[in-house]
Amino acid sequence: MSQSIISLHPLSAYTFTVKEQQPEEDASVAARLQRLQNNYEDFGMRRTTEAVLVVHEHGHPHVLMIQIANAFFKLPGDYLRPGEAETSGLAARLETILAPSPAEPNSYGPRGPAGEAGDWEIGDCLAEWWRPSFETFMYPYVPPHITKPKECKKLFLVQVPPTKTLAVPKNMKLLAVPLFELYDNSQRYGPQLAAIPHLLSRYNFVYL
C-alpha cells in the first residue's frame, strides 16, 4: 500500500566521457530477427533486461537513453545468456555499456565472457514486454493464444550511483529525456519508451 520514495540526483552530478565504440551485434533488423530465431531454436525464449535510469533536471524526472546513429533510441541493456540471473546480468550489461573501464567490445552482451557488475543498484521491475513471433512488435502482455513467446523483455528501475562517471561508446549518444517529452510520443520514441512516464507515475520522487 505505501508508495515508494525514490531519490533522484541532478543530471549535473554526473560526469560524461567518451570511450571506444561498441558496434551493434547485428547489422540490420532482419539480421537481428534471424539471430533471435537461431537462438530460440538453440536455447528457447530470449530474456532481455533493460534499465530505466532516472535523474532530474530543474525538479523534473529525466530518463537516460542511448541514441544510435542519430536515429533510434534505446534503453541501456541487452539480452541475457541462458541461465544468467536478471539482476547481475543487467548490472554487467550496464557496466559494459556505461562504465569508464577499458572498452571491451567483445564482452558486450552475451557474446563474450560476463563482465563486472559494478555498483549498479537494480530496483523494481517496471514492465514486461512480450514478443509473440520473430517479428518486431511486442506487447505489454502475452497475447491470447500465444503459448510460446519468443522473447520476454523486462524493464528495471535502476538508481544511478551519485557522482558516477558514465562513459559512452563513441558511436552512441547518451541523452537525458524529460518525462513530458516521452509522454504520448510513441511516434518518436516507440511504444516501449513512450510508456515510461506511466510506469514511473506511482513513485514519489525526491529531488536532491
> Distance between CA atoms of 141 and 133, rounded to whole angstroms?
14
Who's near 102: CB < 8 A, 6+ residues apart?
none
Report if residue 102 touches a second copy, rule: CB under 8 A. Answer: no
Burial level of 127, CB count in 10 A (0-12/13-18/19+)? middle
Report if residue 120 touches a second copy, rule: CB under 8 A. Answer: no
Q: How far is the CB of 202 from a second copy (least distance, A)?
A: 5
Q: How far is the CB of 135 from a second copy (least distance, A)?
A: 16
Report if residue 58 touches a second copy, rule: CB under 8 A. Answer: yes
Residue 120 in grid coordinates: 549498479
Residues 14-53, mask of contacts with a second copy (x by CB under 8 A): ----------------------------------------
Cβ-contact 128, 154 below 8 angstroms: yes
> Distance between CA atoms of 61 and 178, rounded to whole angstroms?
6
Report if residue 180 touches a second copy, rule: CB under 8 A. Answer: yes
Report if residue 198 touches a second copy, rule: CB under 8 A. Answer: yes
> Distance between CA atoms of 78 and 85, rounded to whole angstroms?
13
Stretch that binds a second copy, among 17-25, 40-48, 98-106, 172-180 (CB under 8 A): 172-180
Site for a second copy, rule CB under 8 A: 1, 3, 58-61, 87, 122-129, 139-141, 143-144, 178-180, 183-184, 191, 195, 197-202
